[in-house]
Structure 1
Amino acid sequence: MTDTVNHSEIFDRKRRRIVRDRAYARAKGDDFFSRIMAEEILERLDVVKRDFRRALVIGLPARQLEDELRARGMTVLSADSSSLLARAQGGVICDDDRLPFADHSFDLIINIGSLDTVNDLPGALVLSRRILVPDGLMLAALVCAESFTSLKSILMAAEEDRVSSHIHPQIDVRTAGDLMARAGLTMPVADSDQLRLNYSELGRLISDIRDVGGSNILSGGLSSIGRKVYKKVLSLFRAQAAADGKFAESVTLLYLCAWAPHPDQPKPARRGSGQVSLSTTLAGKGKRQPDG
């Protein structure tokens, strides 16, 4: 099946599948950033005071997460646009905004490192709400806005008046919270964690981005970095390194938590009151057990 051309979409769906296939072939979802996100999501899941039975895992770290969730007694299905991952896991090949599951199919959805490259993010969140049972939980992690600012800066300087996008736009915390609420998810919480990293090699930094599926998948054709520009980037990388030869970079990871609606849930506090903490949301005070 071929995609219908849609020029309003920011990401090229075919290119996205290729990039995620390559990322999975390189790291099997056990890359640096995915590992951090997966471990944090599992720690947050440990706080939830209830049992889950049917889980959907979306993202490149599906293999590691499936093992952990099955050890907790869950039936788990994986999904991703990467055909390599889906075949390896016996999962489903699909995009996050085209989830092919019936309403109320799962009581837990975990999405790692995938929502930041979805064409229709509001639609993806609505679909997540629909396929969750009432009072089902969605946990997600993704690379947030204001990430890789140092690398973006030296890329712009190296390309001078011919600047191209090599890292896709990313979502910020406030927007993520608003989108979850608009999608009809309840008690939404979005928070972030900034990583301050030091790289001694430019290739290692680029590899970490590729391993998490962060290569350019923007619609409108690719703009590769030529040899001349790459040499400039490398020179700037070394020039901006500290005395120990390390180049400082920052990456912000965004974590999302929300529930599918249910009448027995606590009523949300007034927006901006700061009365609902992440721990309260995860604890699921007043939650019921899943059906079936």
Structure 2
Amino acid sequence: MRVLERRADAPRFLADDMADDVLDRLAFLRHRPKRALVVGDTSGVLADALTAGGCNVVRADPAPIASERPIDEEQPFPEPGFDLIAQLGSLATVNDLPGAMLHIRRALAPDGLAVMSLCGAGSVPALRAIMTETDGDRPAARIHPQVDVRAGGDLLQRCGFAEPMSDSRMLDVRYGSLRRLVADLRAQGLGNCLARPGPLLGKAGLARAEAAFASMADADGRVTERFAILTMSGWNKALRPPKF
């Protein structure tokens, strides 16, 4: 389960970018949801916009705050019949992604739309390079497996979504320190969630990591980190049995 930082000034640029993207996609469709489930909308950007359009919105999250409902994405949804389900980021760390996507499809009303966004394959290449250099001859597993565009499309088809679409876009963020980069990841629920994470760095390891960060910095002393945002979408139309 991801753990989000809930302070008022916590970074939420990934969730906000995903929320804006869902709104852009809806603007090109004739789909006007009357009832929506929004998961992972940490700043309420998407929920507020949908509510303003007359939609009844249920906000949920695996790590909820007072305005949200708790949700277990690997269990059937207790309230089906949504015209829209938007998942912002939280599917990246579930153990059974196909199962979670199948629960989403089954929670949709007929002709309902699901839009699922997460950090996919190709994310955080700078941090990966830093940790590879830091670990040296004994590289440790420090990030969960990530899904690429092709795998996303295959998953949509396997789970019985109609008109499946899978695409990816890049979001670049510049950092002045390794500590800030790691803090931003943790605040947005992107920290190491492996059952057997790599060993702690210790003071010597941290010093090597910070040195590796400094060696990658540009003339302004900053390192550009990249987030590959994968978006999978599909409809609950003529239902087809999932293929597992």
- Please give the TM-score of this superposition, normalised by the length of structure 2: 0.90
Which residue does the alignment assign to 1:138?
114
Which structure 2 residues correspond to residues 1-292 of structure 1 after superposition, within 5 A?
Answer: 16=1, 19-20=2-3, 23-26=4-7, 31-61=12-42, 63-83=44-64, 85=65, 88-89=66-67, 91-103=68-80, 105-220=81-196, 223-262=199-238
CA RMSD of aligned residues (A): 2.0
* The 10-residue stretch of structure 1 (194-203 or 127-136) with the greater mean CA deviation from structure 2: 194-203
Question: Can you list the C-alpha shifts for 1:181-237, whole angstroms capped at 9, x where unaligned?
Answer: 110000010111112332222122112211220011111356333221111100111
User: Do 1:116 and 1:143's aligned partners in 2 also have CA atoms closer than 8 Å?
Assistant: yes
Cα distance change, pair 27–141 in 1 and its aligned pair in 2 (3 A): farther
Question: Are 1:58 and 1:114, in contact at CA under 8 Å, matched by a contact in 2?
Answer: yes
Q: Which structure 1 residue ranges, 5 or more long, are not aligned?
A: 1-15, 264-292
Please identify which structure carries the higher strand content. 2
Deviation at 1:164, TM superposition (A): 2.1
Specify every segment of 5 or more residues in structure 2 that has no aligned partner in the other structure, as ranges.
240-244
The structure whose Rg is larger is: 1
1:245 aligned counterpart, secondary structure? coil
Of the structure 1 ranges 144-153 and 194-203, higher mean CA displacement relative to structure 2 is found in 194-203
Counterparts of 2:197 and 2:150 in 1: how far apart (Å)? 30
What TM-score, normalized to structure 1? 0.76
Partners of 2:28 and 2:6 lie apart in 1 by 33
Aligned positions, number? 239
CA contact (8 A) 2:36 2:83 kept: yes
Query: Is this contact kept in 2: 1:116–1:142, CA < 8 A?
Result: yes
1:63 is matched by which residue type in structure 2?
Answer: G
Report Cα offsets for 1:93-125 as digits up to 9, x if no partner. 12212143244x211100001111111111111
Contact 1:24–1:82 (8 Å) recurs in 2: no
Distance 1:121 1:82 in 2: 18
